[in-house]
């Protein structure tokens, strides 16, 4: 099982069903399985789904990986592409792997650091060496907005940390955050493609952005940006940021003429696996949203009140949290706990961080209308108050509602299942 404490949490049938459906979602995005199912090499032709790339046509091939899970994804790709065909590469992730000719760096997330900047500079060195006869394979995963980091103009790493922390706590959406990040960076918003020009670029993307907007995934390092400095300034004003020295992103189409951006997986990958499992367990599945947004404390109650008898209500996306107190928790924990007072009889909700990290080292929350309510009465706590005070973690832990995962899975945003018998 990918879910670590499955047996401990599955104290009744509806909780076990929720766990089994979430488990199916996690299995669908297990990194090794994902890449082995999608990528293959046949007579020196790299096949990625329906796409085909003749590797014999390039003098040099480089691999650049960025984001959470990119190191393991690179390891999987190296089972497909022999090391003898590679000239080198750089990967930055929150974990380090031995990748042969490809240098692996461990960076920080969700806030950038000098380590991230140093690794990004190594990436730029490789990209600027590439010629029109070369291929750069980039593996782009969620978390790349902070893991690759090259501040523009007079912006410092400390500035980026302060901006990121402020936006995370202010409830900014991922699109708003990444719009600002792009215009404080000389690696996002198409800059990676500009450095690689005139080489050919093949970007293999795992989306963690609701709606799969490729210019927003990891802040779009290989995609022509549609936002402007004016957009960034307007958002900076909205969220009370100080005056920042924004930079414009590359707009010349020539930098993107030889770039292929392919989305390998997204929230929908988990969603459809969950849908299949729900049918197997006897539920009627319904997709609530493929691009869920909104504040976690509102989303939980809305989904709890929407699910019909006999239904499995499923969603993927990314909610927001407004942090006003020094508590401990995450958006998935807030979704589950906020839903608890609104659950109908014989209902349960489970909200999952796909990469197993819901702001802190837990994967999310699970509650039902029976066992969870009984446990809550024992500790004399109120779920709504706990969410408002940013105390979802300690509350869920006390009522046996926290879960963890044991494998590294792809960061494809969050996914939620609400069940009703």
pLDDT tens digits along 370-393? 999 999 999 999 999 999 999 999
The set of long-range contacts for 251-256, using a CB threshold of 8 Å and a minimum separation of 24, is 251/224, 251/225, 253/224, 254/197, 255/190, 255/193, 255/194, 255/197, 255/224, 256/190, 256/193, 256/222, 256/223, 256/224
Q: What is the pTM of this model?
A: 0.91
210 pLDDT more than 90: no
400 pLDDT more than 90: yes
Angle at which helices 174-182 and 157-169 cross, to 10°: 160
Class of domain 6-29+268-420: alpha beta
pLDDT of residue 153: 87
36 pLDDT more than 90: no
In this chain, the answer to whether the domains covering 6-29+268-420 and 43-265 adopt an identical fold is no
Q: How many CB atoms lie within 10 A of CB 305?
A: 12
Q: Is 361 helix (H, G, I), strand (E, B) or coil?
A: coil
**Mean per-residue pLDDT over the chain, rounded:** 96
Under 8 Å between Cβ of 140 and 67: yes
Q: Which CATH number applies to 43-265?
A: 3.40.50.10180
Tokens 């929908």 -> residue: 268
Mean pLDDT over residues 228-257, rounded?
A: 96
pLDDT of residue 414: 97
Mean pLDDT over residues 216-245, rounded?
A: 96
Q: 156, exposed or middle or buried, with CB in 10 Å at 0-12, 13-18, 19+?
A: exposed
Residues counted in the chain: 421
Q: What distances in angstroms separate CA 317 from CA 163, 165, 284, 314, one per listed residue?
A: 23, 21, 21, 11
Q: Report the side by side order of strands in the sheet with 45-48.
A: 39-42, 45-48, 51-54
Domain positions in the chain: 6-29+268-420, 43-265
């Amino acid at each position: 099982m990918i879910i670590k404490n499955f047996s401990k949490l599955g104290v009744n049938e509806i909780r076990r069903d929720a766990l089994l459906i979430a488990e199916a979602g996690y299995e669908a995005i297990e990194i090794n399985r994902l890449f082995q199912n999608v990528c293959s090499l046949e007579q020196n032709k790299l096949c990625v789904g329906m796409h085909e790339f003749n590797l014999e046509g390039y003098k040099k091939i480089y691999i650049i990986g960025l984001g959470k899970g990119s190191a393991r994804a690179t390891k999987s790709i190296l089972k497909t592409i022999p090391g003898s065909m590679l000239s080198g590469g750089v990967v930055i992730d929150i974990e380090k792997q031995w990748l042969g000719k490809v240098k692996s760096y461990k960076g920080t997330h969700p806030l950038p650091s000098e380590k991230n900047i140093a690794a990004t500079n190594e990436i730029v060195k490789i990209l600027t060496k590439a010629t029109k006869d070369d291929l750069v394979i980039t593996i782009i995963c969620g978390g790349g907005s902070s893991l690759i980091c090259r501040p523009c103009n007079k912006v410092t790493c400390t500035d980026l940390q302060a901006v990121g922390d402020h936006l995370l706590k202010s409830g900014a959406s991922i699109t708003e955050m990444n719009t600002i990040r792009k215009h404080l960076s000389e690696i996002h918003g198409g800059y990676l493609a500009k450095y690689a020009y005139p080489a050919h670029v093949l970007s293999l993307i795992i989306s963690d952005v609701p709606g799969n907007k490729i210019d927003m995934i990891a802040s779009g390092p290989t995609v022509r940006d549609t936002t402007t400095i004016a957009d960034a300034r307007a958002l900076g004003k909205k969220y009370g940021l100080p005056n920042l020295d924004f930079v414009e992103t590359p707009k010349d189409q020539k930098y993107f003429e030889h770039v292929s951006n392919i989305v390998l997986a997204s929230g929908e990958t988990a969603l459809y696996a969950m849908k299949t499992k729900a049918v197997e367990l006897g539920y009627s599945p319904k997709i609530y949203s493929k691009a869920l947004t909104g504040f976690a404390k509102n989303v939980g109650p809305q989904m709890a009140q929407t699910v019909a008898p006999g239904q499995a209500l499923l969603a993927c996306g990314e909610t927001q949290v407004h942090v006003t107190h020094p508590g401990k928790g995450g958006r998935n924990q807030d979704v589950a706990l906020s839903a608890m007072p609104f659950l109908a009889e014989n209902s349960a909700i489970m909200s999952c961080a796909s990469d197993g990290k819901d702001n802190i080292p837990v994967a999310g929350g699970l509650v039902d209308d029976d066992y969870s309510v009984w446990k809550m009465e024992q500790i004399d706590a109120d779920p709504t108050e706990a969410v408002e005070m940013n105390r979802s973690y300690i509350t869920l832990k006390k009522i046996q509602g926290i879960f963890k995962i044991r494998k590294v899975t792809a960061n494809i945003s969050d996914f939620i299942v609400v069940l009703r018998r």
